[in-house]
Structure 1
Amino acid sequence: MKRLLVLCGAPGSGKTRVSNYLQQHYGFSRVITHTTRPPRTGEVTGQDYYFETTASFAKQHYFEKVVYDRHYYGSSREGLKRAWQKSPRAVIVLDTQGALTYCQQLPQQTVCVYLAVSSPQTLLKRVEQRSFTENGKKHLQSREGQRDLQVPPALQNKCQVLVNDNWQQTQQELEQLLRANKLFSDD
């Protein structure tokens, strides 16, 4: 059976790092999402995002989409299909609202993991250390950033919480989570 691991959590909780780790060590394919924002230096369409025009964005079939900072972002059925063509185990990084959509629309195939960090100062430090120019405080203080600081009530029984304070411990807990959810095999 094809499975999807949804990673959500606050900015700076480690979603991208965990996604990259699952791809490199466990053969997960990444669901590439769509955006109308321009690529940042070094970003490649089809690898980082599908960079779209407003017109091409409208042609996809989305599970969920949002407008953030005047740009559209969304995850499409086409993107999930492409990921599953590469591997029966796929991973996607979403905000909690997007995670809820997948849990509702693909409940038998979706495993949701909410990444948490014990300290708000750690989140801020991680976001500010990112290599791109966005202001870390602005990102954390956005409506979405504030919403994602905790597991929303609608996701509390749908997501497994993993505290990502120590990378070695996180790796061990990820392996346990993969085994418990039968995400090691192609069954």
Structure 2
Amino acid sequence: MKRRGNIYIVSAPSGAGKSTLCQELLTVCPDITYSISHTTRAPRGGEEDGRDYHFVTREAFQERIAKGLMAEWAEVHGNYYGTSLETLEATVAQGIDVLLDIDVQGARQMCEALPECVTIFIMPPSVDELRARLEKRGTDSPETIEKRMANAVGEMDQRDFYRHVIVNDDLAEAVAAFVAVVKGCREGVNA
């Protein structure tokens, strides 16, 4: 009998290195598929439907919500974003693991819809280091950085909701911890 795939939910405050860790995990474990969200926002330069997002109309997204077809969703800055329940179900039924990079609110919704999800929270080594990383990126105004820092504190306060917490202080060590969680879950050790 084919094993059912795992759903790995990864959340972190902005600047904690979640995107880098997810990219590294997908390099080490290329058999994991990365979940592509649905959105009502317009594609940005170079984005492709089905690769970056599934771009849908507001009406189509609202219909999917009404029919219970979204595992999680949120309205952010006037646009909907969310994850298709039917796509997730079909993928894991084939024995394929799925990686989702979603916020704390989305993670809670996902766990209500699919309680077997494996939840992983990425922590920065410290609040000061997080601020330094955000400032070093040079992409945000001081006001935006303050907003991100306030959000980060609220997100980090919810880390106990997650089954696994990885501190991203040293990238190689954090990647090794992330891979260990995935391999442990596949072997039925860390579920």
TM-score by length of 2: 0.78
Residue type matched to 1:54 in 2? R
Structure 2 counterpart of 1:5, one-letter code: Y
Number of equivalent positions:
180
| C-alpha contact (below 8 Å) 2:7/2:97 kept by paired residues | yes
Cα displacement (A) at 1:58: 2.1
CA separation of 1:144/1:113 partners in 2, compared to 1, >3 Å: closer, same or farther?
Answer: farther
> For residues 142 and 163 of structure 2, what CA distance do their matches in structure 1 show?
26
Q: Runs ≥4 in structure 1, deviation > 6 angstroms?
A: none
Task: Give, as a single letter, the amino acid of the residue that structure 2 aligns with 1:114.
Answer: F
Deviation at 1:94, TM superposition (A): 0.7
Separation (CA, whole Å) in 2 of partners of 1:106 and 1:36: 24
1:97 paired residue among 90, 99, 105: 105
Give how far 1:182 is off. Answer: 2.1
- Select 1:48's aligned residue among 49, 52, 56: 52
In the alignment, what sits opposite 2:20? 17
Q: Percent identity?
A: 24
- Indicate if the aligned counterparts of 1:33 and 1:49 stay in contact, CA closer than 8 A: yes
Shift of 1:126: 4.0
What secondary structure does 1:118 align onto?
coil
Aligned to 1:36: 40
Please identify which structure carries the higher helix content: 2
How far off its partner does 1:33 sit?
0.7
Question: Counterparts in 2 of 1:107-146, with a 5 A limit?
Answer: 107-108=115-116, 110-127=117-134, 135=141, 137-138=143-144, 141=147, 145-146=151-152
Gaps of at least 5 residues in structure 2 are none
Q: Which of 151, 166, 169 does residue 170 from structure 2 map onto?
A: 166
List alignment gaps of at least 5 residues for structure 1: none
Secondary structure in structure 2 of the residue aligned to 1:73: strand
